Amino acid sequence: MGNCGGSFRYPCLSESDARYNSDTDFSIKSQNGHWKKATGLSESEGSSYFADGTLMEELLISATGLPAFNVSYQNYKIFTNFTVDGTRAYRSVIVVYKGVDYGPTAGQGWAWAFSSYSTSTFELDGRILTSPSKFALAGNRSVWNKDDTWSPNYVVSNDTTYGVSTGARNDTLALLSSCVNSNCDKSTEVFQYFVQDELYSFEVQRGKRIVSEDEFITRIESSMEEFNVPAYIQSNALPIMSNPHAPPEESLWCQTDPACSTNPYVNPTTAVRTGPLVGLIVAAVVLVVMSVYLLVKRDRRTQMNRSKLVFANRIAQTISVRAHPDQLSSDDLKKEFERIDESGDGFIQKKELWDFLSSGKAGSINKSDFEALWNAMDLDESGDVNFLEYCAFMANCHDEYDSARNNSKVISARASQMISSSIASKINSEKIGY
């Protein structure tokens, strides 16, 4: 018997909640159709704004060992490769900025790339959890942003998702992504950047799907050229697109991936159904009781037959065997009753019946059989047997009395034969002696 379900326990939770079912498909696409539509290659154009809606004209980008770059924070390009494989998803992104006309890097653009990795969850609510991002910057530096935590992306509807991630500096990035049409060939994304719970800035990106990989790579390269991105920057950003599925260590995956982590939803042991179990117990008890009853009934019937036979034998010793028990006269019954009733008070006491059965050669009777005989005769349970009770009992002893009467006839016949043989032998002996 298992811990739940079946005939005797309440149903397993897995019967009504797929999270508890070990055969459930936890893949990303099976949980919500949005993820299937969102996969593929895309190009977006974005612009950034301060919280009050004012345009953010430029962005200062600095990296160790490199000069500071002033780039435009308007009309930059975003290239995304989003792939879903079972319970895992991969997102590789390249962002290309146009340079400004002043400063030490005047006229030079900038590009950077990052990858993020996501898994489905055991919740089966369509969400995916995204790992800390891996950034690829100039100078061949490619590091995990391990200060960030796994961030959830929720499916709001079949066309919209919402995600949020929190960094180590108490900054939060919220993302709302929506498909513009039914097959998600066009999309809109809004990023909101919060610092200490206050909205600092937001970005709006409008994208379209790119059908082929060749076109995708061509569009990235042409944007790099258009925005005059230095070659050493390009060489560091582009490889992430040619190898977008370079995943984190397996141990990092398995922090959340249902394919290699432990499901927290385990069928608990459910209570035993009282109905079927009680029914089974009652049926078993009834069967046992009936068996015992039949055995006891058989034993009592056997016991009563033995008692009646001993009593009938004793009666047959004292009543003439000339008649069938149905033809016994009331005088016969009355004389026999008085013979047992030694006290003459008109009632047979238990001791008087015991003394009667113990005398003569009617056979022995044990205490248990005697008690059964007495209970059968003492119908009103008064402690003594009157003449009416005696006659009623005798009426039920036909077969036993008849057997005793026939046995007595056989014995009498054998005795007569033996006496006759003895007399004849004696006469013959006397004649020979004469």
> Which of 223, 253, 283 is the C-terminal boundary of a domain?
253
Q: Is 6 inside any structural domain?
A: no
Q: Is 402 inside any structural domain?
A: yes
Q: Which residue has the higher pLDDT, 209 or 232?
A: 209
Distance set, CA 240 to CA 75, 133, 145, 225 (Å): 22, 13, 16, 18
Same domain, 145 and 289: no
Residue 75 Rama label (left phi>0; alpha psi -120 to 50; beta): left
Same domain, 212 and 304: no
Same domain, 218 and 280: no
Same domain, 369 and 245: no
Give the CATH number of the domain where residue 343 resides.
Answer: 1.10.238.10
Same domain, 131 and 230: yes
pLDDT score of 322? 45
Contacts with 56 (C-beta within 8 Å, 6 or more apart), sequence order: 48, 49, 50, 73, 74, 201
| Range 388-402 average pLDDT | 68
| Range 176-183 average pLDDT | 90
Torsions phi, psi for 146 (to 5 deg):
-75, -10
Among candidate residues 342, 306, 308, 339, the one with its CA nearest the CA of residue 325 = 308
Same domain, 207 and 310: no
Distance between CA 80 and CA 113 in Å, rounded?
10
Give the CATH number of the domain where residue 170 resides.
Answer: 2.40.128.20
Distance between CA 164 and CA 148 in Å, rounded?
11
Among candidate residues 364, 235, 250, the one with its CA nearest the CA of residue 307 = 364
Provide the pLDDT confidence category of residue 235 given band limits of 50, 70 and 90: confident
Q: Is 5 inside any structural domain?
A: no
Same domain, 84 and 141: yes
Distance set, CA 29 to CA 115, 140, 247, 335, 415 (Å): 20, 34, 19, 105, 108
Q: E strands of 233-346, at which residues?
A: none
Provide the pLDDT confidence category of residue 225 given band limits of 50, 70 and 90: very high
Q: Report the greatest alpha carbon distance in the chain.
A: 179
Same domain, 146 and 206: yes
Same domain, 281 and 238: no
| Range 165-179 average pLDDT | 79
Q: Is 265 inside any structural domain?
A: no
Q: By residue range, what is the domain housing residue 386?
A: 274-429
Same domain, 232 and 372: no
User: Is the overall model pTM greater than 0.75, yes or no?
Assistant: no
Q: Is 53 inside any structural domain?
A: yes
Query: Residue 339 gets which letter from DSSP?
Result: H
Q: Which residues of 391-426 are buried (b: 16+ CB within 10 A; e: fewer)?
A: eebbeebeebbeebbeebeeeeeeeeeeeeeeeeee
Provide the pLDDT confidence category of residue 224 given band limits of 50, 70 and 90: very high
Same domain, 230 and 357: no
Torsions phi, psi for 334 (to 5 deg):
-65, -45
- Find out whether 388 and 300 touch, Cβ atoms under 8 Å: no
